[in-house]
Amino acid sequence: MVAGSNPARGAKHFQQLAGSLRRSLRDAALLSHGTAEQVYLLLRIALADQLTRPGELSPLILDDPTPHFDTERTLAVLDLLLQVSEERQVILFSQEPEILAWAERHLTGPDVEPGRHRLTVLRGPVASS
Protein backbone atom coordinates (compact mmCIF):
# COMPACT_ATOMS: atom_id res chain seq x y z
CA MET A 1 0.00 0.00 0.00
CA VAL A 2 1.23 3.52 -0.76
CA ALA A 3 2.22 5.73 2.24
CA GLY A 4 1.60 3.20 4.99
CA SER A 5 -1.59 1.58 6.14
CA ASN A 6 -3.87 4.64 5.98
CA PRO A 7 -5.81 4.52 2.67
CA ALA A 8 -6.74 8.21 2.85
CA ARG A 9 -3.09 9.22 3.28
CA GLY A 10 -2.13 6.84 0.45
CA ALA A 11 -4.72 8.40 -1.87
CA LYS A 12 -3.54 11.91 -0.98
CA HIS A 13 0.08 10.93 -1.64
CA PHE A 14 -0.92 9.47 -5.02
CA GLN A 15 -2.83 12.65 -5.94
CA GLN A 16 0.20 14.79 -5.02
CA LEU A 17 2.48 12.57 -7.09
CA ALA A 18 0.09 12.59 -10.06
CA GLY A 19 -0.22 16.37 -9.81
CA SER A 20 3.56 16.85 -9.85
CA LEU A 21 3.83 14.52 -12.85
CA ARG A 22 1.19 16.52 -14.72
CA ARG A 23 3.12 19.73 -14.08
CA SER A 24 6.36 18.19 -15.39
CA LEU A 25 4.89 16.69 -18.57
CA ARG A 26 5.46 18.53 -21.83
CA ASP A 27 3.53 18.51 -25.06
CA ALA A 28 5.26 16.16 -27.51
CA ALA A 29 4.63 18.71 -30.27
CA LEU A 30 7.24 20.92 -28.58
CA LEU A 31 9.99 18.35 -29.17
CA SER A 32 12.26 18.63 -32.19
CA HIS A 33 11.66 16.04 -34.88
CA GLY A 34 14.94 14.29 -34.04
CA THR A 35 14.15 14.16 -30.32
CA ALA A 36 10.67 12.79 -30.99
CA GLU A 37 12.19 10.10 -33.25
CA GLN A 38 14.59 9.13 -30.45
CA VAL A 39 11.70 8.79 -28.00
CA TYR A 40 9.77 6.66 -30.50
CA LEU A 41 12.82 4.44 -31.05
CA LEU A 42 13.16 3.87 -27.30
CA LEU A 43 9.44 3.12 -27.11
CA ARG A 44 9.80 0.51 -29.88
CA ILE A 45 12.64 -1.16 -27.97
CA ALA A 46 10.58 -1.15 -24.78
CA LEU A 47 7.51 -2.51 -26.60
CA ALA A 48 9.58 -5.35 -28.06
CA ASP A 49 10.53 -6.30 -24.50
CA GLN A 50 6.97 -6.02 -23.20
CA LEU A 51 5.28 -7.88 -26.06
CA THR A 52 7.64 -10.84 -25.95
CA ARG A 53 6.69 -13.76 -23.72
CA PRO A 54 9.11 -14.75 -20.95
CA GLY A 55 11.81 -17.02 -22.33
CA GLU A 56 11.22 -15.89 -25.93
CA LEU A 57 13.11 -13.35 -27.97
CA SER A 58 11.91 -11.48 -31.00
CA PRO A 59 14.16 -9.59 -33.40
CA LEU A 60 14.18 -5.83 -33.47
CA ILE A 61 13.91 -4.71 -37.11
CA LEU A 62 14.60 -1.04 -37.81
CA ASP A 63 14.51 0.79 -41.13
CA ASP A 64 16.55 4.02 -41.20
CA PRO A 65 16.02 4.88 -37.53
CA THR A 66 18.49 7.81 -37.41
CA PRO A 67 18.13 10.18 -40.40
CA HIS A 68 16.93 13.07 -38.21
CA PHE A 69 19.64 12.64 -35.54
CA ASP A 70 22.84 14.61 -35.27
CA THR A 71 26.14 12.69 -35.37
CA GLU A 72 26.53 12.47 -31.59
CA ARG A 73 23.03 11.07 -31.08
CA THR A 74 23.36 8.70 -34.03
CA LEU A 75 26.51 7.19 -32.52
CA ALA A 76 24.86 6.95 -29.09
CA VAL A 77 21.85 5.14 -30.59
CA LEU A 78 24.11 2.74 -32.49
CA ASP A 79 26.02 1.98 -29.29
CA LEU A 80 22.69 1.36 -27.54
CA LEU A 81 21.56 -0.98 -30.32
CA LEU A 82 24.85 -2.85 -30.01
CA GLN A 83 24.06 -3.37 -26.32
CA VAL A 84 20.51 -4.47 -27.18
CA SER A 85 22.01 -7.00 -29.62
CA GLU A 86 23.56 -8.82 -26.66
CA GLU A 87 20.06 -10.07 -25.78
CA ARG A 88 18.11 -9.98 -29.04
CA GLN A 89 18.75 -9.95 -32.77
CA VAL A 90 18.88 -6.43 -34.20
CA ILE A 91 18.37 -5.99 -37.94
CA LEU A 92 19.11 -2.47 -39.11
CA PHE A 93 18.54 -1.15 -42.62
CA SER A 94 20.12 2.18 -43.47
CA GLN A 95 21.36 4.16 -46.44
CA GLU A 96 23.49 6.51 -44.34
CA PRO A 97 27.27 6.32 -44.93
CA GLU A 98 27.84 7.25 -41.27
CA ILE A 99 26.04 4.09 -40.15
CA LEU A 100 28.04 1.94 -42.55
CA ALA A 101 31.30 3.41 -41.24
CA TRP A 102 30.21 2.73 -37.64
CA ALA A 103 29.19 -0.84 -38.51
CA GLU A 104 32.49 -1.54 -40.25
CA ARG A 105 34.35 -0.35 -37.13
CA HIS A 106 32.19 -2.14 -34.55
CA LEU A 107 30.82 -5.26 -36.26
CA THR A 108 33.81 -6.51 -38.23
CA GLY A 109 37.50 -7.03 -37.62
CA PRO A 110 39.78 -9.13 -35.44
CA ASP A 111 38.41 -7.79 -32.12
CA VAL A 112 34.84 -8.91 -32.88
CA GLU A 113 33.70 -12.34 -31.70
CA PRO A 114 33.48 -14.58 -34.83
CA GLY A 115 29.89 -15.21 -35.92
CA ARG A 116 28.49 -12.67 -33.45
CA HIS A 117 27.53 -10.01 -36.00
CA ARG A 118 26.97 -9.93 -39.73
CA LEU A 119 27.24 -6.88 -41.92
CA THR A 120 25.67 -7.09 -45.37
CA VAL A 121 26.22 -4.19 -47.74
CA LEU A 122 24.02 -3.84 -50.80
CA ARG A 123 25.67 -1.83 -53.56
CA GLY A 124 23.57 0.11 -56.04
CA PRO A 125 19.81 0.11 -56.42
CA VAL A 126 17.91 -3.04 -55.55
CA ALA A 127 16.16 -4.46 -58.64
CA SER A 128 12.40 -4.58 -58.37
CA SER A 129 10.43 -7.53 -59.68
Categorize the per-residue pLDDT at 4 as very low, low, confident or very high, splitting at 50, 70 and 90: very low
Instruction: For residues 44-64, give the mean pLDDT.
Output: 87
Q: Is residue 24 part of a domain?
A: no
Instruction: Establish if 103 belongs to a structural domain.
Output: yes
Q: Is residue 1 part of a domain?
A: no
pLDDT band at 115 (very low <50, low <70, confident <90, very high): confident
Residue 99 domain-assigned (yes or no): yes
- Predicted confidence (pLDDT) per residue in 65-99, tens digit: 998 889 999 999 999 999 999 888 999 999 999 99
Q: Is residue 47 included in any domain, yes or no?
A: yes
Residue 82 domain boundaries: 33-107
Whether the model clears a pTM of 0.85, i.e. scores above it, the answer is: no
The CATH number of residue 67's host domain is 3.40.50.300
Q: Does residue 6 belong to any structural domain of this protein?
A: no
Q: Reduce the DSSP state of residue 116 to 3 states and report it.
A: coil
Taking CA atoms, 25 is separated from 15, 41, 73, 96, 116, in Å, by: 15, 19, 23, 33, 40
Residue 63 lies in a domain: yes
Domain count, the chain: 1
**Is residue 122 one of the residues assigned to a domain?**
no
- Concatenated DSSP letters of 3-63: TTT-HHHHHHHHHHHHHHHHHH---GGGS-HHHHHHHHHHHHHHHHHHTSPTT----EEEE
Could you report the per-residue pLDDT of 8-38, keeping only the tens digit for each? 555 555 555 555 555 666 677 788 888 888 8
| Residue 13, number of CB atoms within 10 A of its CB | 14
